[in-house]
Every structure is written in structure tokens, then in C-alpha cells.
Structure 1
Amino acid sequence: MNAEIQALESNHTWVLTELPPNKNAIGCRWVYKIKHRADSPTIFYAILVYVDDIVLTGNDLTEIKTITNLLDLTFKIKDLGDLKFFLGFEVSRTKAGINLCQRKYALDILRDTGMIGSKPVSTPNDYTTKLHQHSGSPLCDSDASSYRRLIGRLIYLTNTRPDITYAVQNLSQFVARPTTAHQQAASRILRYIKSSLGAGLIFPASNTLQLKAFSDSDWAGCLDTRRSITGYAVYLGSSLISWKSKKQATVSRSSSKAEYRAMASVVCELQWLTYLLQDFRVSFIQPSTLYCDNRSALHIAANPVFHERTKHIEIDCHIVREKAL
């Protein structure tokens, strides 16, 4: 501020004079604003830190080396080169793109549970049977603890295995009182994992920068609470970057409401991903696209005339309509 005032005075921007009678002076105010990229150079880098493990990326190799040397002077780090393994994630890079999987982590689960020699199956769960709290007989304390530990490890595996997300979510709601039926279903997931150990995510080197989301719900899918299950998948171009399977917080009296709630969840996810990708300097030319197979939910999102049909839907769900307009 002082430098600005001195510059104005040195350039004789004004001349001090007496205020005329019956006149009021116009006040002034200093407004501060952060000026991003004031030097215009366009270098970007990002640092991911987990305890004592660090992943560093950016668009300028020289800048990355400079930061690496600075970190080494301060913390004495060890540079392991290109990212290949991080917190159980295996990263392989080719000209076609990047492959992300947890093969070693999955193998460790199979060895620890004694399922390494089990017979593989083609699906993670039996879609003809729905589990509930009283399916089967209660497990003893030691088996129940093993079940809870296994579900926790499987939840971490879903970071690269969206194909088991629904099955794992279904079994995770029984950790308080697991039964033999739940344990048998968990074993089936392990048998499925054995049939697809190397499965994971592929991020192509060439891709379009548009967010696309697919939303769905299993109306009253929970047999114990009759709550619906939300499911969605978000793609950046052809790359799957976000997915979820989760039981809704309240009971929906219609399939339209359940589908609309699922749409609300994915809209919030799209909004968050938009902010995140903007921080990574990803610019969007086209708006995000949301796909849903329920026509009633689509009409509610697009047309506020459906007043009588939407009075029972909470205000926070109408974020779908707000973003669509």
C-alpha cells in the first residue's frame, strides 16, 4: 500500500487543495485480491503425502527435480524414481496409458484367509439370493473378528476394483452381527478375486476431458430396513475415476424418489470433481453429463411443475434441478 501511494505521489497524480464549502469528500477503500500466476511461466506441480510416503507430479521435470532436492535437504528423502508402487497400489505405465491395480494386495488377502487354493467363480456374489441380518447362524467371536477384518481389507481393495463394490457394500452392513451366510458370501468374493487378480483401472494416454456420470438405485433393496441402494459411476472421458454403492439415509416411498436421491448424490460428486480437476488445471469445454434410466426422476429434475409429486422430497435433493438449469 505504501509503495502504491509513493508511486502516485511521485507521478503527481493529484494536487492537494482546500475542500470547497458545502461539499463532501468522496471516501476511498483499499481492496486486496490475490493475484494468481502473477509471473504468467505456467508451471504446475502437486504433492501427495501419506505419513512418510510422497508422490510428486507436475508438468515441468526441472521444477520437479528442484523440489525433490529441496525436500532432500530438509527431510533427507530417498528418490525411488518413477511411481511403481504406493500404499498397495501397483502402477504400470506404457505408451497406451496407465494401469492401476492392487494385485499383490489381493494376493495377500487370499493367502491370509487360506483361499489361495480355492476354486474361482465368475461373479462376486449370488444375484439370485439377497442377504439379511438373520441369514444363517451367528458366528463365534473369533470368526466374527476375522469377518470384520476381511471386510475392512476388501473395502480398501475397492479403490481399484469397482466390480466388487456393490458386493462388499452389501456385506459391510452386517459387521455388527455376521453370520455363516455372510461369511460364505465373503468367501465367494475372494473366489471371484482369484479369477481376476490383475483387474484394475486403465487411464488411456489420449482421452477427452468431459465428465460423464451414470446413476441408478435399487429401490427398497435392503431387506432389513427397506432403504434403497444408491449406485453411481463417474468417467472422465473413457476413464472411470469415481464410483460408489451406498445405502440411502432414509426410506423412499417411490422408485422415483430413490432414483432422484441417487442423482442428487452423483451431482454433488460431479461438483466436487469439477473443483478438484480445476485445481489440477484441467479445463472443461463441455458441461458434465448425467445419465439416469428413470423418466420420472428426469422429469422432476427438469420441470418444477411437478409440485405435488415433489413436496415430500427434501430441499437438499433439489440440487439436481438447480445444476440442470
Structure 2
Amino acid sequence: MLITGSSLKLIQDTKEALQQAFKMKDLGELKYFLRMEFTRSNVGILMHQRKYALELIFEVGMTAAKPVGTPIDINVKLTSKVYDEHVKKEQVGEDDPLVDQTMCQRLIGKLLYIKRQSGQGLLLSSSSDGLVTTFCDADWASCVLTRKSVTGYMVKVGQSLVSWKTKKQTIVSKSSAEAEYRSLASTVLELVWLLGLLKEVGAEVQLPVHVYSDSKSTIQIAANPVYHE
């Protein structure tokens, strides 16, 4: 459990109340949480996943002794561990060799990238101007199996990236404008929640918040929703 707030006394009172009701241990300052590692310095907090990335690479057999030269071993392990989880959810025949090969190639590419960049992370700066900036986009009909679009957004407070997401939309969008509009709606929904959270912890935020979208049709719909079906 991660406990945070604007009052140290309130945090301590919360810990004591929880310890009276449950058997628990106070681990002190945040260092490792939900596969995320946190390293502190005067500049800010570096958030990374090096430990989890190395565990993932080791699990699929991509050790230093078998880097890139043994794609067959990697294919076998990926097919058995990951293929069922990703492909069967899309209700695709598990005996489809084309889908099998494509999925494995994509996953191998991602794992090779993780292997090379395991030490990369995000810096949460200790200084901020309180300006919230948001970028959102949609990849129309990008899923080759379902033709569903993908929503993507990122939210920055000052120069620090605090929220990001890439997720397949729940329904098939008939146009790129519809896909972009759904992406924009999801982004604003996240912003409403995030601004409430920042207010609770006492963070100063400049209003209004700037949301950037690259779809002209979506901007027109958002500006005048009355004359659009």
C-alpha cells in the first residue's frame, strides 16, 4: 500500500490506525512499488523498471549467453507463454501460423528493446511551474485483428510526465474523427481525476489546462457539438 498526502501527521495517524487493525510493516520511504523502482536525488525522483525488466528477460530465456542469435528458442518460449494470452483474447484460431509468427516477431522486438534499454526511466523533477500540458492521439483501426482504434495520451506537470496510457478502444470507430474524439474524451476524463488528486495533495496547478489534439475534425466537433450526429 502506498500512502501519500500533504500532512505528515495525517500520514502517520493513518499508518497507526492501519497497524492497529491489520498485521503490517512500515517500509519507510517509497523505493519499490508495483514493479516500479524509485531513486531519489536533489534533481528529483527517477522512476524506472530495471529490476522487473531483467526478470522478464530472464524468464523468456534472453540471457547474456543467448542474446539475439537464438530466435528459435525465444519463439518457442514466447509462443507457449504469451501467444495464448494475447491472441486467444481476440478469438483468433490458435492454429493460424500467420498470426502466430506475427505476434512472436512483435514480442521479440519489444523484448530486445527492453533488454537494451533496461536502465531507462522517467525523471520526476523536484521543481515545477504548475503548468499541466496534455497530448492525445488515436491510431485509427490499427488492430489488424479487430480493426479497433488505439487511444494514446500523456499528461505532464511542468516537465514531469505524470500520467500516460495506450489502450485499445472498446468499439470500432467508423472514421478517424470518431476515433480521435473518443481519444480526446478519455484524455479529459483522466484530467478531471488527476486535477482532483493534485488538489488533494496540495499541488499548485495553473488553469486552464492545455490539451493538444492533431485532429481538425475532432476540434470542430468539440467546439460545436450541436450540429453533429
- What TM-score does the superposition give when structure 1 sets the normalisation length? 0.58
Q: Which residue of 2 aligns with 1:317?
A: none
Q: Which residue of 2 aligns with 1:83?
A: 30
User: Superposed, which structure 2 residues align to 1:141-290 within 5 Å?
Assistant: 144-147=79-82, 177=94, 179-290=100-211
In structure 2, the CA distance between the partners of 1:173 and 1:283, relative to structure 1 (3 Å rule), is: farther
Q: Distance in 2 between matches of 1:76 and 1:173?
A: 38
* Stretches (4+) displaced over 6 A: none
% of aligned pairs identical? 40
In structure 2, the CA distance between the partners of 1:257 and 1:76, relative to structure 1 (3 Å rule), is: closer
Query: What's the CA shift for 1:276?
Result: 2.2
How far does the alpha carbon of each residue in 1:216-237 deviate from its partner, in whole angstroms, 9 at most, with x for none?
1112222333332221111122
8 Å CA contact retained: 2:42, 2:126? yes
Opposite residue 198 of structure 1, the aligned amino acid is G
In structure 2, the CA distance between the partners of 1:263 and 1:62, relative to structure 1 (3 Å rule), is: closer
Query: What's the CA shift for 1:82?
Result: 2.3
In structure 2, the CA distance between the partners of 1:301 and 1:113, relative to structure 1 (3 Å rule), is: same
In structure 2, the CA distance between the partners of 1:299 and 1:114, relative to structure 1 (3 Å rule), is: same
Q: Which runs of 5+ in 2 are unaligned?
A: 70-74
Opposite residue 144 of structure 2, the aligned amino acid is L
8 Å CA contact retained: 2:83, 2:103? no
Q: Distance in 1 between matches of 2:151 and 2:128?
A: 28
Q: Which stretch shows the higher mean deviation, 194-203 or 254-263?
A: 254-263
Alignment of 1:109 with 2:30, yes or no, is: no
Q: Secondary structure at the match of 1:289?
A: strand
How far does the alpha carbon of each residue in 1:297-316 deviate from its partner, in whole angstroms, 9 at most, with x for none?
112211346x2xx21xxxxx
Q: Distance in 2 between matches of 1:103 and 1:110?
A: 11
Opposite residue 113 of structure 2, the aligned amino acid is Y
Q: Which residue of 2 aligns with 1:127?
A: none
Query: What's the CA shift for 1:240?
Result: 1.3
Query: What's the CA shift for 1:94?
Result: 0.4
Q: Which residue of 2 aligns with 1:299?
A: 220
Select the structure that is richer in strand: 2
Query: What's the CA shift for 1:175?
Result: 8.3
How many equivalent residue pairs? Answer: 217
Opposite residue 224 of structure 1, the aligned amino acid is L
Q: Bigger relative contact order, structure 1 or 2, given CA contacts below 8 A and separation 6+?
A: 2
CA RMSD across the alignment: 3.1
Q: Which residue of 1 aligns with 2:72?
A: none
How far does the alpha carbon of each residue in 1:84-110 deviate from its partner, in whole angstroms, 9 at most, with x for none?
222322111100000111111110111
Q: Secondary structure at the match of 2:30?
A: coil
Opposite residue 46 of structure 2, the aligned amino acid is N
Q: Which runs of 5+ in 1 are unaligned?
A: 1-48, 50-54, 121-138, 152-170, 312-325
How far does the alpha carbon of each residue in 1:264-316 deviate from its partner, in whole angstroms, 9 at most, with x for none?
111111112122222223343311111011112112211346x2xx21xxxxx
Q: Distance in 1 between matches of 2:148 and 2:19?
A: 52
